[in-house]
Every structure is written in C-alpha cells, then in structure tokens.
Amino acid sequence: MALFLDPRFNYRGSKFFSPEEKMEIMGYINETWQRIRQLQSPASTSSTRNESLSESERNDDFDEYLTEMYGGSVNTDGEPSETKFLQQLQSLDLEPRQNSNYNVWDHWLRRKTTHPELYAVAMVVLSTPSNQVSVERAFSVLGLVLSNLRTKLAEDTLTNILLVKLNKALFPQAIATAYNWKEVERN
C-alpha cells in the first residue's frame, strides 16, 4: 500500500502495478479509510454541526429526509464523501512521476488540506513499519523491562522506559540540544 501512495512508483503510465493489484490495493486503502472514519468521534462532529446550523439549514433536514426516502442521496460538504475519496484514490494514477530523491512524507503533508481523507490513510500507511524487525525488537526490550518484579509499572513509566531503551542512538543528540548548557553551568 505504501508504494501505491508513493508518486515515485505510482504515476501516469507506470507499469509497476498490474490492474488487478491496483484494484486490490485500492480496496485495502478504502478499508483503512473506513476504519479511520469509524474511529473518529461522530458524537463530537454531530454536536458541533447542530450548533452551527442556521434555521434554514435545519429546515433543509426534512428535504434531505425526503430525498433519501425516495431514492436520492445527499452528501453534505462537512462529511467525507465516499465518492470523493474514491475519485481522489483513482486520481493517484494520473499524477506525474517524481524523481528518486522525492520526499513522500512531505508530499502527503502538503496534501493535508486538499486531500484530508487520503492524507489520514497515508499517515497510517507510511507510519507502519515495512518489516517486523523493529516490532520484534520492541517486544524483546519490553520483555527485559517488564519482569515479574516490575509488573506494576504505570503505563507512562513503561512508555518512557521503552522510549529511552529503543532510541539509545538518538539520546546523545537529544541531550545536547535539549538544554542551554551554558546557562546550566552558570547556575
């Protein structure tokens, strides 16, 4: 899925994916988006929507009800449209090819406002490790930290311990830039 969202591999005229593979990948991406939508809190969006409705918009609810009842469909601008999402997903094939140095992460950050649904999926897909080595390493470290004698560690404490243990290589850089050491030495 990550390569499908990468304009270096999925571009106009690319033969990297077969048509069957593209359909299968688009199905997975659509399922991922559906799961993201389910996780978003519908209660907060509906209460915010009702507060911002004017009287004429509230009267339109009845018209929407009638339209839906007699076979029509109504898409509100505030809600993500399945059709819009699928169109954006299919339009990824039409984008120009990018060079090998192209930053895919920045590509999707720039699309946060223009393609919010695809952006949400891209952040999930691109954040997922491409192999299990990092995950297995994390579980191995967790097994060393969380022993029979340390089973009552608070969640925050356990998270902080794992963060430090899994990022030992970054620790010297973080310490060097975290504080203004000249001020610390003066005090």
- CA distances for 76 relative to 19, 64, 72, 122, angstroms: 32, 10, 13, 24
Domain ranges of the chain: 19-127, 133-186
What is the separation of C-alpha 65 from the centre of its chain, rounded to a whole number of angstroms? Answer: 33
DSSP one-letter string for 30-51 = HHHHHHHHHHS-HHHHHHHHHH
User: Which residues, including other chains, have CB under 8 Å from residue 65's CB and lie 6 or more apart?
Assistant: none
- Cα separation, 46 vs 48, in Å, equals 5
Q: Which two tokens stand for residue 187?
A: 């005090």
pTM over 0.85: no
Report pLDDT digits (tens) over 79-127. 557 788 888 888 888 889 999 999 999 999 999 988 999 999 999 999 8
Report pLDDT digits (tens) over 144-156. 677 666 667 777 8
Amino acid 63 reads: D
Report pLDDT digits (tens) over 152-183. 777 788 888 888 877 778 777 777 777 776 77
Whether 42 has a pLDDT exceeding 70, the answer reads: no
- Cα separation, 137 vs 143, in Å, equals 10
